[in-house]
Amino acid sequence: MISIIIPCYNEEESIPLFYEEINKTIKEMKKVPFELIFVNDGSKDRTLEILRELAKKDKKVRYISFSRNFGKEAGILAGLEAAKGDYVAMMDVDLQDPPYLLKEMYESLQDKDLDCVATRSVSRNGYSFFRKLFTKWYYKIINKISKTPIVDGARDFRLMKRKMVDAILSMREYNRFSKGIFSWVGFNTKWITFENTERVAGTTKWNFWKLFAYSMESIVGFSTTPLLISSVIGVLFCIISFIMIIVIIVKTLMFGDPVAGWPSAICIIFFVSGIQLFSIGIIGQYLAKTYLEVKNRPIYIVRETEDDI
Ligand code: UDP
Ligand code: MG
């Protein structure tokens, strides 16, 4: 069986279109049983009602409804935990992940040496100039400073075998960055590419600041290099100040001590305290993540599932 996980947040317009499209693929692959697990991530529109109706009339439709918005990562985790299939796929409901690819992905996975088929989009149509630029730099930086490779343009759309799903479920961290987790667990992944398309209906749930926060989270989650950077800067400044102290002592002994250099002193004080705050900020980021991890809160809370109807 193939389980498909579909996180939905305010997607009343997209769900019927998605359901229609995915059914075409399911019909084409008639030999394989399917289960569709929709995760309602605290939507404020009619998403839940639509899911209830679908689940009532179609046995293969299941749904998990959260008590509030927990974010897409939590939705993916809930879906993975609920999935019963030998193969598990996850895809967006806005048809930016084309369902017809599933057939090809499933056929590829019949190869014993493969555990996962993942997708990346080669273009970024429909993204703003700013977002394109930011994304490009983000991938450059994170791949420099993290040991876990994060593939540029990788989408969450992928089909995995059960073994890999279980490995992912064994990672219980609170701050979840799926792209990193998928990469971290290893296994043999085949990448296929496709042209990015714009979403069929509704609007994107991401704005610049959300994306920025998400990228910072992934950096803190999968790299400790920023901590190293602040340590290196600290050592560098110690060495510089040491040299400066010696220079000043020698200068004073040789030429006396005329009062001068107040502006330069102030500049140095400002500069150094800036660096100090920057470093404390980096440590703070890691501390904050540790704090949230230690609290051990549930990653999502379920309010309703298809068993409740
Ligand atoms: N999504 C979610 N919870 C959120 C935000 C988004 O479950 O808090 C879902 C959304 O319904 C969609 C998928 O995640 O199925 C991707 O969202 P979107 O299409 O807005 O992102 P984009 O494609 O613009 O990156
Ligand atoms: Mg989308």
Verify whether ligand 1 is closer than 6 Å to residue 75 (CB atom): yes
- Residue 199 CA, closest ligand 1 atom number: 19
Mean pLDDT, the chain, as a whole number? 88
Query: What does the DSSP 8-state code read for residue 148?
Result: S
Q: Give me ligand 1 centre to Cα 212, in Å.
A: 15
Residue 196 pLDDT level (bands cut at 50, 70, 90): confident
Q: With a cut of 80, say whether residue 89 has pLDDT above it.
A: yes
DSSP-H helix ranges across 153-207: 162-169, 178-184
Q: With a cut of 90, say whether residue 8 has pLDDT above it.
A: yes
Question: In this structure, what is the dihedral angle of CA atoms 92, 153, 71, 145, given to the nearest 10 degrees?
Answer: 160
Write down the pLDDT at residue 213. Answer: 86
Q: Which ligand is nearest to the CA of 7?
A: 1
Question: In this structure, what is the dihedral angle of CA atoms 234, 239, 243, 244, given to the nearest 10 degrees?
Answer: 0
Verify whether ligand 1 is closer than 6 Å to residue 11 (CB atom): yes
Verify whether ligand 1 is closer than 6 Å to residue 97 (CB atom): no
- Residue 69 CA, closest ligand 1 atom number: 8
Write down the pLDDT at residue 263. Answer: 73
Write down the pLDDT at residue 51. Answer: 93
Verify whether ligand 1 is closer than 6 Å to residue 205 (CB atom): yes
**For the residues 283-295, what does the mean pLDDT come to?**
88
What is the number of residues in the chain?
309
Sign of CA dihedral 147, 151, 75, 89: negative
**For the residues 178-182, what does the mean pLDDT come to?**
90
Q: With a cut of 90, say whether residue 41 has pLDDT above it.
A: yes
**For the residues 122-149, what does the mean pLDDT come to?**
85
- Per the confidence metrics, is the pTM higher than 0.75? yes
Specify whether the CB–CB gap between 178 and 217 falls below 8 A.
Answer: no
Specify whether the CB–CB gap between 108 and 190 falls below 8 A.
Answer: yes
How many Å apart are CA 104 and CA 108, to the nearest integer? 6
Q: What separation in angstroms does the CA of 245 have from each of 239, 242, 248, 250, 254?
A: 10, 5, 5, 9, 14
Verify whether ligand 1 is closer than 6 Å to residue 156 (CB atom): no
Write down the pLDDT at residue 30. Answer: 86
- Residue 6 CA, closest ligand 1 atom number: 15
Q: Give me ligand 1 centre to Cα 162, in Å.
A: 24
Q: What separation in angstroms does the CA of 242 have from each of 257, 266, 272, 273?
A: 19, 18, 14, 17
**For the residues 192-213, what does the mean pLDDT come to?**
83
Span 238-268, pLDDT tens digits: 888 888 888 888 888 888 767 777 777 887 8
- Residue 205 CA, closest ligand 1 atom number: 20
Among 65, 76, 205, residue to substitute to test ligand 1 (most atoms within 8 Å of Cβ) = 205
Q: Give me ligand 1 centre to Cα 138, in Å.
A: 19
Q: Give me ligand 1 centre to Cα 275, in Å.
A: 37
Write down the pLDDT at residue 230. Answer: 84
Q: Give me ligand 2 centre to Cα 207, in Å.
A: 12
**For the residues 11-39, what does the mean pLDDT come to?**
92
Residue 272 pLDDT level (bands cut at 50, 70, 90): confident
**For the residues 130-147, what does the mean pLDDT come to?**
88
Residue 141 pLDDT level (bands cut at 50, 70, 90): very high
